[in-house]
Every structure is written in C-alpha cells, then in structure tokens.
Amino acid sequence: MELLEALNKHWGYEQFRPNQQEAMTCVLSNRDSVVVLPTGGGKSLCYQAPAVCRAGLAIVISPLISLMKDQVDSLRTSGISAAFINSSQTHDEHRRVAEAVREGSLRLLYIAPERLVQARTIEFLKTANVSFFAIDEAHCISEWGHDFRPEYRSLKMLRKHFPGVALHAYTATATEQVRADIIKQLGLKKSKMIVGSFDRPNLFYRAERMDDRMAQVREVLRRHKRESGIIYCTSRKAVDELSELLNGQGFRTLPYHAGMDPEERSRNQEAFIQESCDTIVATVAFGMGIDKSNVRYVIHCGMPKSLENYQQESGRAGRDSLDADCVLFYSMGDYARWKANIEEGAARNRENSFATLRAMVNYCTGVRCRHKSLVEYFGQKFEPELCGACDVCTGELNIVDDAQVIGQKILSSVVRQGQRYGGEYTAMVLKGSRDKRVRSNGHDRLTTYGLLEDQPVPTIRDWIEQLVSQDFLIREGEYSVLALGERGGELLRGEVTPTLLKSGDSQSRLSKQVTRQKTNWEGVDRDLFDELRNLRHDLATQAGVPAYIVFADETLRQLAARKPTTLAEMRAVHGVGDKKLADYGEAFLACIENYDGTASGDSETPDSTTDAASALAANG
C-alpha cells in the first residue's frame, strides 16, 4: 500500500505534513533516522503509516502506559491492528498479545524500554519478524536533554541483537547537542537527521508578570468556555488551591499531582481526557503521556526551568493544528527558586542548567517576538518580521516612548551602586524605597535614587530584565549581581536606544484576543459544533476511548461548517477514514440532520445527540 493511500484510508488525510514523507521514506528504506518535529507535527504518523505499508511487526518503544493505550486505541479505531505490553495488564492479556505476535496479525506493538531490554523479551522478538524499531520521546536517551531516563541508555543493545533492523528516534525537543547524543547512544549508522521547524504558528504566546493570579487565569478561562485546557503550577499546594478556587467560581477543573492517591489521580486524568471536566490543574508531572489533540490553552502559573520544558509543555496545546493560547505568568521569585535548586544540586551540568535558566528568564522578560525567541533557541532561523501570534508582535504590549532615557537611568544606578547588587535591589533604589538596606548602604543619597519614583517596582524590574535580554546589562557571579553588558556603554553615551515594554491596556488586549478567536470560528456553526462535541463525548464513553480519538476538533469544525448529508460527503471531510466512517458516520449524519439551528451552546446533552447515539447503537 502506498503511503498516501494509507493516510487517506486509515486517517482521512489527503497530504503529508512538512517532513513526514521524508521520515516515512527512511522507514520504508530501512535507513536509521532521527526525527525532530514539534509537538503536533505528526511524529506518530511517521512510523505508524509505514508500519501499515511494510510487512512484519513494528516495535514502538514508549515510556508511559497511558500514552501506549491512547495510541493503540487510536490505531484500532482507524482500522489498524495494534497492541501494547505493560505492567497494567493481566497474565491472560499478555498471553493474548504474544499469540497475536506469533500469528503475525499485529502491525504495531508498543512496549516500555525496561521490558524491551529483558533477555526473555529480546529472544521472543527475534522470532517475530520485526520490521523496525521506533523510539518515541527519544530525548530521554540523552543526559543533556530535559527528561533524561537512564533506562533508555540500554536501548543501544538493539543494534547487537537486531543487526539488520533499522532504528528510528522521534522527539519534539532536542538541541543539536541532544541530537548528537541520541545518535551516539543508540549506535545509529549512516542515519538521516530530519529536523522540522520548531515554530508552531497556530500557538499564540503571551508572557505576563504575575500580578493577580486568579484574575489573570480567569480571563483566559472565560475566553475558552467549555474548551479543554491545562494549567501548570509550580507546587502541589498551588495546584490544590487554584483548582478549588476556580471550581468555587463556576469553572470545571480537577487537580493532578504526584502527592495525590494514584487512583484519584488516574480518575482525574481520565475525566479530562473524556471531557467530563474542562481544565486540569497540574504540576509538570502531568502531560508527557497525554496525546489529547484538542487542548485549546496551556497556562503556566510560574516560570518553567528551561525553554526545553516550556516548549514541550506549552506544545501540548493545539496539537490538532487549530489555534490555541499559551500564556505564561511569571515572577522573579520563580527564577530565585530554580537558581537555588541548581545550586543545591550536583555540580555536574550546573553551568548548562544556569544557561538554560537564563534563556528562560530572557524569554519571559524579553522584547523579542516569542516565536523567534523559541525557534532561534533551538538553532533555527526565524524569517518573518512579525509573527502575528504573540503579545509582542500584535501590540498587546506597549513600547515605552522614552526608552533611552529610562535605560540610561537604570544603567547609571547600576554603575553608582558599584555593580554589586541584583535587579530587585536596583529597582528599589530607582523607586526611592525607604528600605532599611537601601538607607544603610547610603544609596538613598545617590543621584539616581528615586529617578523612577512614578513607576511601580514590578515595572522597573521588568525593564531591568529587558535590558539584560538586549545585552545592555549582564548578571554576574553566584548572586546574579548586575553589571554593564556589551552594549551598556553605547546606551549611556546615547548612541543606541533599547526597546522597553510595559503591559498594555487590559481592555485593549482582551479586545484583540476576542477578535482573533472569532476569526478562528469563521464559517462554523458553533451551536452545531457543540452538539457534535456532545455526541462525540457520548460515543467515546460508550467505546471507552478518549473523545478526541473518535474525531478531532478540526473534523468537528468542518462537519459543522459543511453540514454533509450523505456518507460520501462526510468521507471527504478531513480526518474521516474508512473505519471511522463505517463506525460513526450514520450517528453524526443523524445529529446534523436533526439539528434545527436553535440549540444553545450551553446545552450539555441535546436531544439530537441522544438520537444520534441511538442510531449508532442500532447500526451495530
């Protein structure tokens, strides 16, 4: 079967996404490869589609049980025979999977690295006609990556036991150093390196200093009523508190963190996947194993420790290629906590950890396009002058008119303080604080004391960080004291002007966001979409699979725009393959036919949804 034919038959796609065809060709030609595509770039298809087209059994190495199950459920609903082996199964379930492998009836088998490298497993797979190995989340192999897992190092032994079988590594986040380490640790030979663009143009990035956490989070949630989202917090206590507060204000959220009872944590994750709740409030323990495609927003209530982490966590939004919001609320207290963690940790890789943390701070406080900052951090060029999808480029932040004068005042204060103090202290001097430390140091007598008394300390602090990100200031030493940077002298002499931003008017910012969101729904009957979404929830619950596995949001939007009346018309919609058309086609057509255009978007279970579910049951 040809690749495009397989994509259309099983997944309802008519063309490849960028880099997919090249990656799939490597699999078909038995050539080792490393594939780095952003979250939502279609990595899974890079090995799933070739597995359908090749003879033999594809082995997919995956680190998390929940991820295995979701992917296997998705493959089966698309008409592809797949299975997994992990500790959640009974002995009888293991036996049935082994029989399917012996019979040659499976196309893909998912397995954890710890189980794969066991001698018994290796000997069994040697009899299974293995076509290739796909290593998911391959950045876990590298100690230079952000989620190093020692058990991944053992995978190099696959080369010894399966010398003629190609290895393919897939990841969403890998710097050049990590990519090189993946090749080395796996022992890849003449491998093809395929690196897609790290840019996610459908994601709208914002970074705001944490001011009023509840108000800031509430604004995002109200903009995404009844849509799925994730809120990341930096502690378990913050997770519990925020979830409870939001629920008290009428939002549907559930908490998730490692300190919870495992069964409760699992139930909450399942409720989020099944769309029984809208928002999961979690620590970073949540998300790696979640393949949910229709997350419309990711909020960070706190600064992550690196841009690798942020790119992966924020990248869980908009995996269906539809627009999504990624909002980061930060404070310099976050920086202080991460810095302390690094200093208390092992000396090994400490310098690299500090560098990644500084890059994260520069992203939060910088004045450059957010997309450009992320893409260039991973070693790629970003050509557009304006991305059109971040708070900097869309004018949600205001450019300060007298930036040169303000910058000179800040740098002058740093110099007069002897270049021996940090950003918070410098902001207090410029504000004219009566803090005991400022007075005891005699800095209330400096000519720069109180020069920015009309500005809030957080605003001054932001400007200091923006000057750091533009190389006018640098941080030095163990205590991150401020000193003049490479361009500091030029600014003091008035030869250059920095770009300084302050938060724009909140009403103006909100107006721009709402306008953009309306554009995303152009041509879509929103009430019909909500009815189709309810139907999807019911069908997914009946089948015991995540809602997005039935159909992605993009497919529902097209159905709500086109309103097909026949199976042939529905088959032409993106994401509707042969198996899903046979399983769900009649039910969705019944829902569209029964829709009268007067439904309320707030209706939880419209009558037409129930009728359509009945149609499916009657259809077998």
Residue 406: which CATH number?
Answer: 1.10.10.10
Task: Give yes or no for a contact between 518 and 481, defined as CB atoms under 8 angstroms apart.
Answer: no
Same-domain check for residues 439 and 485: yes
The predicted structure's pLDDT at residue 603: 39
Evaluate whether residue 508 is within a structural domain.
Answer: no
Same-domain check for residues 534 and 461: no
Other C-beta atoms closer than 10 Å to the C-beta of 18 total 12
The predicted structure's pLDDT at residue 352: 81
Same-domain check for residues 216 and 363: yes
Evaluate whether residue 470 is within a structural domain.
Answer: yes
3-state DSSP percent of the chain in helix, strand and coil, to 5: 50, 15, 40
Other C-beta atoms closer than 10 Å to the C-beta of 608 total 22
Same-domain check for residues 16 and 114: yes
Extended beta strands in 302-351, E state: 324-330
Query: 315-351: buried (b, 16+ CB within 10 Å) or exposed (e) per residue?
Result: bbbbbbbbbbbbbbbbbbebbebbbeebeeeeeeeee
The DSSP annotation for 202-216 comes to TEEEEEEE-SSHHHH
Tokens found for residue 470: 């533009």
Evaluate whether residue 366 is within a structural domain.
Answer: yes
Tokens found for residue 359: 């890059």
Q: Which of 469, 503, 537 is the last residue of a domain?
A: 503
Evaluate whether residue 58 is within a structural domain.
Answer: yes
Residue 536: which CATH number?
Answer: 1.10.150.80
* Tokens 């077998």, residue located: 620
Evaluate whether residue 511 is within a structural domain.
Answer: no
Evaluate whether residue 260 is within a structural domain.
Answer: yes
Tokens found for residue 513: 């966001």
The predicted structure's pLDDT at residue 198: 84
Q: How far apart are CA 540 and CA 195, in angstroms?
A: 35
The predicted structure's pLDDT at residue 288: 54
Using CA atoms, how far residue 296 sits from 260, 292, 321, 379, in Å, is 26, 10, 10, 27
Using CA atoms, how far residue 260 sits from 234, 237, 254, in Å, is 15, 11, 12
Same-domain check for residues 20 and 95: yes
Nearest CA to 4 among 19, 24, 18? 24
Residue 386's Cα: distance from chain center in Å? 22
How many domains does the chain divide into?
4
Burial of residue 236 (CB within 10 Å: 0-12, 13-18, 19+) is middle
Using CA atoms, how far residue 365 sits from 99, 292, 326, 406, 459, in Å, is 57, 30, 16, 16, 11
The DSSP annotation for 70-97 comes to HHHHHHHHTT--EEEE-TTS-HHHHHHH
* Tokens 């998705």, residue located: 74
Same-domain check for residues 16 and 144: yes
Evaluate whether residue 509 is within a structural domain.
Answer: no
Extract the residue ranges of the chain whose pLDDT is less than 70.
1, 144-147, 285, 287-290, 346-348, 478, 503-520, 597-620
Rg of the Cα trace of the chain? 26
The predicted structure's pLDDT at residue 86: 85
Same-domain check for residues 381 and 407: no
Q: How far apart are CA 404 and CA 546, in angstroms?
A: 54
Same-domain check for residues 375 and 245: yes
Average pLDDT, rounded, for the chain: 87
Q: Which of 367, 390, 413 is the last residue of a domain?
A: 390
Which runs of consecutive H residues, i.e. helices, occur in 346-456? 350-365, 370-377, 403-416, 423-431, 436-440
Same-domain check for residues 113 and 21: yes
Evaluate whether residue 515 is within a structural domain.
Answer: no
Tokens found for residue 466: 């923006």
Same-domain check for residues 274 and 408: no
Q: Tell me the percentage of the chain whose pLDDT exceeds 70.
A: 90
Task: Give yes or no for a contact between 24 and 160, defined as CB atoms under 8 angstroms apart.
Answer: no
The predicted structure's pLDDT at residue 517: 56
Tokens found for residue 214: 């509840």
Task: Give yes or no for a contact between 556 and 536, defined as CB atoms under 8 angstroms apart.
Answer: yes
Q: Which of 439, 474, 503 is the last residue of a domain?
A: 503
- The angle formed by the CA atoms of residues 66, 72 and 73, to the nearest 5 degrees, is 90
DSSP 153: G
The predicted structure's pLDDT at residue 520: 65
Same-domain check for residues 499 and 532: no
Q: Which structural domain range is residue 473 located in?
A: 399-503
Tokens found for residue 113: 């690295």
Same-domain check for residues 492 and 539: no
Residues ≥6 apart with Cβ < 8 Å to 108: 47, 48, 51, 57, 58, 59, 60, 72, 75, 80, 81, 82, 83
The predicted structure's pLDDT at residue 519: 56
Residue 209: which CATH number?
Answer: 3.40.50.300
Query: Which residues are bridge partners to 297 per DSSP?
Result: 229, 325
Task: Give yes or no for a contact between 55 and 88, defined as CB atoms under 8 angstroms apart.
Answer: no
